[in-house]
Structure 1
Amino acid sequence: MKVHEAVAAALRSNGVETIYGLMGDANMLIITDYLRDQGGRFIPTAHESSAVSMADGHARTTGEIGVCSLTHGPALTNGLTALVEAVRARTSLLLLTGRPPSRFGHGQSLDIEGLCDLSGALYERVFGGSTPRRDVTRALSRALAERRPVVLDVPYDLLAQECTEASAGSARRLHQLHSAPSPSPDDVDLALGLALSARRPVVLAGRGAVTAGAKEDLVELAAMLGAPLATSLLAKDYFHGHPDNLGICGNLGTALTTEVVASSDCVLAFGARLNRFTADDGHLIGSDQRVVQCDIDPASIGQFTPVEIGILGDARATAAAMVQRLREHTDEPRPSAYLQSLRQRLATTKPYAFEDLSTDSTVDLRTAMERISQMLPPDRGVVTDVGRFIFTAWRHLRVSDPRDFIHTTNFASIGLGLSTAIGAAVARPDRTTLAVVGDGGFMMNAQELHAVVRNDARLVILVVNDGAYGAEWESLGAAGVDPEYSRTRWPDFVTMAAATGVEAVAVRNLAELDALAPRLVDPSGPLLVDLRIDPSLDIRP
């Protein structure tokens, strides 16, 4: 057995069922072995960045490792932006590549380890014919354990060497280790002392609380403290339907949520990093409140917002310990006239209320998001690109579980959303995935529509088309420059999509929007919606 065959076998024996990528000298033998001999699936992409994004979407949707493969040098640099996004999203991802033949002056030579240092990815390599299976397994294990992309360098010069390593044995699937460190009893007591001395506490959940399954414990804790519930963006809709739900905290929050959090005297955050968006650059959290932050990562505690008490512990275990400690004294919720009054206000206040400003030729994006959210099946994934539209999408599109929501704003690059959504849709063929992208971001990824068709993905692509780079339209106007300079003048998206085999429709008014309902209720295949909006309509508060 050659090294390239051993690498393919090791991927399969570790449970890798799908690889996204482009073939080249570095990986073509491994990929053909993986397909022909190992029965794996390879999803070819038109651009290297798309391969990384698809693997990123696959991983974030399933919780498993996303795997992609690129060839030497320029292929790797083409994937760099998407790799940085995956690093900052803390995605468990393996990027399989390889250094070119070790001869002087090779045109695709690149310092792979240096590129990893630049991007923040981890670097691993196959060292020789005696260790390829072990090296592959180590790389996959690190990606899972450290929740970071790993770039695995399989040098071209090793591919044809004989593998002398013992057989990998039977297939096995690597799983994320869900360690749940128990909080210190002293920390629990300190946090409770702080919370019980507060008159207007708030309990805030982040994605870490969602991952830990802490919902019921947090609801019970909040009730016993007389506190309303709020979330970070990545935990959006976690408490939807609860009478004490404030929704998203931060620069996306409603006016009522902002008022309540800003006037609170204690915030208890579980699995939320309290970054500048959640804390609104310190204007909302951290200036006047006493803060308790619970996280399994010690580096996250106090990283963005000063905290008075940091608890190193799993969100669910910590919330449960706090509830148990409270129950040693009483089983009754803490009486709170403040919470009763707030509950009445929440019941009578419509979040993000607005007046529809649609016309005969454009649709108010807020209305579009609300109606599309109602039309789609409740069990759906939502993936958003980057652009002026995202604030509206995040506010008005609901998900049944926060883990069904993915954004690609960690590196603030446009053009990653569609491919990330394709990976999510391929990984979850049992449900509909909605990709929300701008017209500029779509054009950076439109070549990947072929992958949507080839894999018959249940993907709805909503192109928010204002015929401009929307953020630049706004910024140019603010600078006193004619925003028309940001106009894009793209070709017709419906015609483009139809040429690739994707069903497509233009939506220019509310009647055309409502006509989408039968198609969105149970999408059987890919659909592109070219949603026309007015760039001059400022729909952000």
Structure 2
Amino acid sequence: MPDTVTRPLGAQISHMLKARGVDVVFGIPGVHNQEMYRGIEEAGITHVLARHEQGAGFMADGYARASGRPGVAYVITGPGLCNVMTPMGQAYSDSVPVLVISSCLDETAAQRGQLHQMKDQEIAASTVTDWSHTARSTQAAYALVDRALHEFATARPRSKHIQVTIAQLQALAPPASAPMAGAGQTGALKADLSGLIDQIKAAQKPLFIFGGGAAHASAAARSVVAALSAASFVSYAGRGIIAPDEPLFFGASLARPDSAGIIGKADLVIAVGTELAEVDLWRAHLGHTAPMIRVDIDPEVLSDRQRAEIPVHLDAALFLAALADGLADHTASTGWDASEVAKARAHWRSEVDAERPGIVPVCDALRAALPDDTMIYSDMTQLAYVAKEVWDMEQPRHWHHPYGFGTLGYATPAAIGGAIARQGKPTLAIIGDYGFHYTVQELGVAVELGLSLPIILWDNGKLGEIEDSMVRAQIAPNAVIARNPDFCKLAEAFGANAVQPQTIEEFQKAVRAAFDADAPTLIHATPALTA
């Protein structure tokens, strides 16, 4: 039976979200958004109470990355919206479907001194989201929710913000209409790609670069590179798209300076679902001298400074599926040498080990200790920086990192959101000592929910990466050391488990045990770990 009950709009929004597949909302209630909480339980939505709006936003992000569904957060006017702006910026940067719904004051221009007042919070939120709009009527609120969910499904998914005036949240409203029919597949295939496929077939040394936008097309990507005997790189966000044992796979090494020379040897470069951004390359130009085919769902990417000769505005999965079909009877010979690929990868691994000594063995040990299908959330910490380059993933979308915006404090709350979405599947957080301070309070949420979540705290006692950067720049390394608490006692005060392994073997044992615990486990690891 259709829902015909009249309720306050705040309650109706929860019912609308539930009807459109939203099962979990992260947030914090306040006097300005309490009407949004009126309908949560009645609608059958699980609410996760964060300890800070930043935590709520990161949990929504982690939930979205793990589930493939939108992550939704409810926050209050003013400070609540400001606190969630960092997670919104991270979700925007990393193409994560996060929807933040906040309350807002009914009037700001003609009245001053109100609780939680901002001059213009819609504009403030718009600086870190795809869009931010105000709903001043019931139909506007419903239309904006549907627009956000539709765009998540059909365009590049990026954070969005809807704010609803307090008076409107309180006003009685009819229920939203039934959900729209299926959104369909992103970027429908309309163009004839036969000429493009022939050009790819004719290449003697084709080179593919896969980014996070191709993560949902891993099977087709693997089929294509095998059929063409093509070499390939992945961006950090694209790790797992290509199998680690693929002999012509250069790994996630685009940021190695001499990768430009290797890319320059290709006679055709095909970049699929990747921004080729600063955080992918750390140089202005990819290094190619051959023509580039650039495939992306975002037209802005197709017109960037890499200036692809052949831009293709298309979803990666559709492009790769069409290409795989076109290669069904293709027999390729390759100009790439597998031994040279292996040599380059070994060289880059040794470079990474030399740049941040002692961390590669820790990554290797951690990888060996993890159960199959573990999903990892990492923070801005040296352990993660090393792992991104030397740790090949077996499958995509299983390592999540705050790549573009680069915020500290992401991993713990994001992993909580991921663990909620994964319902018992192994989930792990990696965070540095300084970043842990940013969102340590969310450990209480993990305890409250009884999550079997290992949190690896990599403690080098300083902002180690910043210290190294300052030294390279011949700047005295000021303000890089802060007094840390006893992290194990702090975790135990929240009700979590805590352990401080002294050896690699103890470290591995602690990680394995944490997945079977009935509460989160803080694993305090330092560079002093010995074999």
Q: Residue by residue, what CA displacement relative to the aligned partner does 1:3-61 show, whole Å, maximum 9, x if unpaired?
A: 233223223222221111111122223214312x2232111111111111111111121
2:117 pairs with 1:109: yes
Any conservation in 2 of the 1:87–1:120 contact (CA below 8 Å)?
A: yes
Structure-2 separation of matches of 1:140 and 1:219: 30
Per-residue deviation, 1:282: 4.3
CA distance in 2, matches of 1:309, 1:487: 49
* Deviation larger for 48-57 or 342-351: 342-351
Task: Give the structure-1-normalised TM-score.
Answer: 0.86
What's the offset of the Cα at 1:308?
1.5
Residue of structure 2 in register with 1:539 after alignment = none
Match runs of 1:441-452 below 5 Å: 441-452=435-446
- Correspondence for 2:4: none
Q: Which residues in structure 2 correspond to 1:139-178 (within 5 Å)?
A: 139-146=148-155, 147-163=157-173, 165=174, 167-168=175-176, 177-178=184-185
Q: Which runs of 5+ in 1 are unaligned?
A: 536-541
Q: CA deviation at 1:326?
A: 5.1
List per-residue Cα deviations over 1:237-276 (Å, max 9, x = no partner).
Answer: 22222232221241159x7x66533432321122222223
Aligned 8 A contact 2:239 2:252 in 1: yes
SS across alignment from 2:414: helix
Is the counterpart of residue 42 in structure 1 residue 43 in structure 2? Answer: no
C-alpha deviation, 1:488, in angstroms = 1.5
1:461 corresponds to:
455
Query: What is the distance in 1 between the residues matched to 2:265 and 2:377?
Result: 33
Conserved? CA contact 1:64–1:175, under 8 Å: no
Q: Given that residues 353 and 360 in structure 2 are in contact (C-alpha distance below 8 angstroms), is that contact kept between their aligned partners in structure 1?
A: no
Tell me how large the CA RMSD over aligned residues is.
3.2
Whether 2:486 is the aligned partner of 1:492: answer: yes
Determine if contact 2:452/2:515 at 8 Å carries over to the other structure: no
Report what 2:332 is aligned to.
334
Does 2:302 align with 1:308? no
1:123 aligns to 2:132 (yes or no): yes
User: In the alignment, which residue of structure 2 is the partner of 1:264?
Assistant: 266
SS at 1:533 equivalent: coil
State the Cα distance separating 1:498 from its structure 2 match. 0.8
1:510 lines up with 2:515 in the alignment: no
Residues 78-103 of structure 1 deviation map (CA, whole Å, 9 limit, x = unaligned): 22122111122222222111113547
SS at match of 2:13: helix
Residues 380-405 of structure 1: CA distance to partner in whole angstroms, max 9, x if unpaired? 11111123443212134454321122
Moved more, 437-446 or 405-414: 405-414
Residue of structure 1 equivalent to 2:95? 90
* Secondary structure, counterpart of 1:421 in structure 2: helix
Residues 356, 32 of structure 1: alpha-carbon distance in 2 compared, 3 angstrom cutoff: same
- Mean Cα displacement is larger for which, 490-499 or 504-513? 504-513
- State which drifts further: 63-72 or 124-133: 124-133
Which TM-score applies when normalising by structure 2?
A: 0.87
Instruction: Give the letter for the 2:408 counterpart.
Output: I
1:184 aligns with 2:184: no
Q: Which moved more, 1:474-483 or 1:84-93?
A: 474-483
Please state how far the C-alpha of 1:373 moved relative to its aligned partner: 1.1
Number of matched pairs = 516
Paired residues of 2:14 and 2:45 also in contact (CA < 8 A): no
Q: Distance in 2 between matches of 1:90 and 1:175?
A: 21
Q: Secondary structure at the match of 2:263?
A: helix
Which one-letter code corresponds to 1:460 in the other structure? P
Assess if the C-alpha contact under 8 Å between 1:6 and 1:133 holds in 2: no
Q: Structure 1 stretch 392-401 or stretch 490-499: which is displaced more?
A: 392-401
- CA-to-aligned-CA distance 1:274-308 (integer Å, 9 cap, x gap): 2234445245433x232111223322214241212
Give the aligned residue type for 1:229: S
